[in-house]
Structure formats: C-alpha cells, structure tokens
Amino acid sequence: MKVAIHQPHYFPWLGYMDKMAKAEKFIVLDEVQLTDRSPMVRNKFLTFNGEEAILSLSIQKKGYREKKTRDIELFNIEEIQKKHRRFFECNYKKANYFGEIMERIAPIFERPYYNLLDIEMDTINLIKELLDIKTELIYQSDLLYDKESKKSNLMKTLCSSVGADIYLSGNGARKYMDVESFKEDGIGVVYQNFEYPVYQQFHQEIFVPNLSSVDMLFHLGIDGSKEVFWNNVKKGKVFEGEER
C-alpha cells in the first residue's frame, strides 16, 4: 500500500493533488507546527491581467509557534473571506467556467470558521471531489505513533501506523530522507514525479505555472480539469527510487 504524507494547504496547488492521487492513503499532518510563509496559510492565484497574486489567511499570533496545526485559530476570518471572494469574482469572472466553479467555491466564503485546519480541509476536500480523487484521507492526530518522532523518522512511523509498504515522498525530502531506515522496517521509498500541466489561461500567450488548483478549474471546468489532471497523473506514473 502506497502512502503519502503532507501538511494541509489552503486551496492547494496541482502538485499537492497529484501526490494525493498517486497514493492509496494520504496522511494529513495536523500535529506539526506552522512554518512562516507556508502554503498552509497562503497560495498563488492569477489576476485578470495574467499576473500572480498571493491570497493569505491570518491567524491568531499569540503562541502559534508552540501550537499544533489543528489548534491554530484564525484571525479576522470574515473579512478575509469577503476579500478572497471578491478577488475570485473580479479576476476570474472572464474565465470560461467561472460560474460552474464559483458556485462550488462560494460556500467556503460563507461558512463560519474558527480554526485554520477546518478551512484548509474544506478547500482540499472540495478540489479532491472536483478532480474525482478517491484516495483516503487520514488525520495524523487519529493515529497511534511515537509522538517524539521527527522528520524522516516521523514519516516512517506514520507509514508503519497505517501498514504502508511504500512511502511516496516529495522530492524536497531527499536531503534528509533515511531510506535505509525505511527499508529496515519493510517500507520502500519512491519520489513523486510531477510536471506541471500547461493549459490555456484567459487569452494570454505566456503560461503561469505553480498556482492553486482552482486556476485550472476556472479555466477548464470540472470535466476538462479532470481530463488534464488524470492524463498528467498517468504521465508521471514512473517514480524514482526503490519500492522495497
């Protein structure tokens, strides 16, 4: 069984969803601490004139560095929801599938939220549903594991707790990944092979990659996005590393 592990993100990018789709189980790290300028609280979108824009959530700063992700509280969330909704309405209204996608996103800007994790997971689950990803999501906090584990050892411990025999890692983890330690526990390590798909954005000639997944959804719609997404998943099906 192949398992991937990641922190929750706000309206995650396509690489996040690709990693999820390539795993049978996806563990959401809700007991780790928040890092500054993290995609857990911010992401990139496209303005109507083709420029990148960052939308961020605000959190209660007091003591947040000592808190687990699931315990971090939001700050001024109602105003931020209004601001982010206005951004989508102003900048994506000329996208081909604005109506179809905005109808699905709008409830996220209307619900009351108190904790960071709740709004993050609503954005993740919405995109997961729209892209028809069937991977099972599991919260780290629901698992029995060694709470003192760090970095590579934490990933291995979490994999063991769900009976994984393959760990799908992001390429950024190569620098600290103790692959031999995984092998000793009967877990192979493979690395995500992902190349950002190119699609038409508004009427511009230069493609802007590495944006939130909703950018593709606004431009291609649900059916078109699923086709591009899953073709890209299949294209990147070859993993680097040893499975055992």
pLDDT tens-digit series, residues 3-53? 999 999 999 999 999 999 999 999 999 999 887 778 889 999 999 999 999
**Which residues span the domain enclosing 235?**
2-240
28 bridge partner residues: 6, 139
pTM over 0.85: yes
For the chain, give the mean pLDDT.
Answer: 93
Residue in 8, 26, 9, 11 with CA at minimum distance from that of residue 192: 26
End-to-end Cα spacing for the chain: 12
Torsions phi, psi for 92 (to 5 deg): -110, 5
Residues 169 and 240 sit within 8 Å (Cβ to Cβ): no
Q: What's the number of domains the chain is made of?
A: 1
